[in-house]
């Protein structure tokens, strides 16, 4: 089965491409390389098509020639802070272009879609662990763009029969255990790679944004889930959607929260490196606690995160010391 992985040259996309291949599927990477890396297709030995997710003509051609059964979407802009400063770019890429992709899918009769959503659609959490029934009230343009697409997908299901799986990630982290692919954002904004860059000496210090939250040590609590655990959920969700012909949605996290200070200490322990830590002002729009309740995915998909925080940091450290791109 051929699966078009839009944004497949990026971080989560590339790991999902690798896992799809290992599970007997035929992934095809479709990426405009604005954030992704062409090296990924060579490393994973997967077909690569350069194209933009808003280019209907190009997409039409791909759907006609590549016998695509399912489309997976990993092509969003993802920086919360940047989305506040440049909302236009986020609405254009994360909503307008996704509509073009969906419209071409409907026209080409490819009506199976896996969508990367985010915990940011929930806004400020109202309970300790966030399940799928938690009210969605995003507080930044990034979260709003993802929420909008979730609503669009509901309407496209009703009107056109386009089935989707919506997967709301908490903190995606970690890298391939063999170090062949990994996390490489420019600029890097994710906590674990930032700490590892401080540990490897590429960064002068790691900044903690606020230490006066209502948590055990005053720093934010986050739920870190390994990228391959997320990739596995994509495959399980896709298989359930194909089997049952229904649209689905799941929250994906480990269900365990760690404070920023705890993650920093864990990195020091694993890397055996000391580095400077600076406390700076809180960032606007950063909730104090974000932890998933993924019971629904466990019950319905049989999904169980298998990587611990230690595994996540060890795999990311291996990548940090020997990056391929």
User: Which amino acids are annotated catalytic?
Assistant: 142
Residue for token pair 């051929």: 2
What is d(CA 280, CA 275) in angstroms, rounded to the nearest whole number? 16
Strands 221-222 and 258-259, bridge-based pairing: antiparallel
CB neighbour burial string for 7-30, b if at least 16 within 10 angstroms, e if fewer: bbbbbbbbbbbbbbeeeebebbbb
* Whole-Å CA distances, 107 to 15, 56, 151: 29, 10, 20
Residue for token pair 């090296």: 39
What is d(CA 18, CA 13) in angstroms, rounded to the nearest whole number? 9
Q: Which residues pair with 113 in a beta bridge?
A: 71, 164
Tokens found for residue 174: 């970690």
Helix H segments across the chain?
A: 11-22, 39-44, 56-66, 80-85, 87-91, 97-107, 141-160, 191-200, 227-244, 260-271, 295-301, 309-321
* Residue 32: DSSP 8-state: -
Cis omega (within 30 of 0) on the bond before 30?
Answer: no
Phi and psi, residue 30, nearest 5°: -125, 115
Q: Cβ distance 1 to 242 under 8 Å?
A: no
């Amino acid at each position: 089965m051929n699966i078009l992985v839009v944004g497949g040259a990026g971080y989560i996309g590339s790991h999902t491409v690798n896992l799809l291949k290992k599970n007997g599927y035929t992934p095809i990477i479709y990426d405009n390389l604005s954030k992704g890396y062409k090296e990924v297709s060579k490393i994973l030995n997967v077909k690569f098509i350069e194209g933009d997710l808003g280019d209907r003509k190009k997409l039409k051609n791909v759907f006609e020639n590549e016998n695509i059964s399912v489309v997976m979407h990993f092509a969003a802009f993802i920086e919360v802070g940047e989305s506040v400063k440049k909302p236009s770019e986020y609405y254009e890429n994360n909503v307008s272009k996704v509509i073009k992709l969906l419209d071409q899918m409907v026209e080409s009769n490819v009506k199976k879609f896996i969508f990367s959503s985010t915990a940011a659609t929930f806004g400020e959490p109202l309970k300790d662990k966030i399940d799928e029934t938690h009210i969605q009230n995003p507080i930044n343009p990034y979260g709003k763009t993802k929420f909008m697409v979730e609503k669009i997908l509901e309407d496209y299901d009703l009107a056109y029969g386009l089935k989707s799986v919506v997967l709301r990630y908490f903190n995606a982290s970690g890298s391939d255990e063999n170090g062949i692919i990994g996390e490489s954002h420019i600029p890097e904004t994710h906590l674990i790679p930032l700490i590892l860059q401080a540990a490897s000496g590429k960064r002068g210090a790691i900044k903690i944004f606020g230490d006066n939250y209502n948590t055990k040590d005053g720093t934010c609590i986050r739920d870190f889930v390994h990228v391959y655990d997320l990739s596995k959920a994509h495959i399980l969700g896709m298989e359930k959607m194909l089997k049952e012909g229904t649209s689905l949605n799941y929250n994906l996290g480990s269900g365990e929260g760690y404070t920023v200070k705890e993650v920093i200490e864990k990195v020091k322990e694993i890397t055996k490196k000391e580095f400077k830590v600076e406390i700076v002002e809180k960032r606007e729009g950063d909730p104090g606690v974000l932890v998933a309740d993924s019971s629904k995915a466990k019950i319905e998909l049989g999904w169980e995160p298998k990587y611990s925080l230690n595994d996540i940091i060890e795999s990311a450290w291996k990548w940090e010391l020997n990056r391929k791109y």
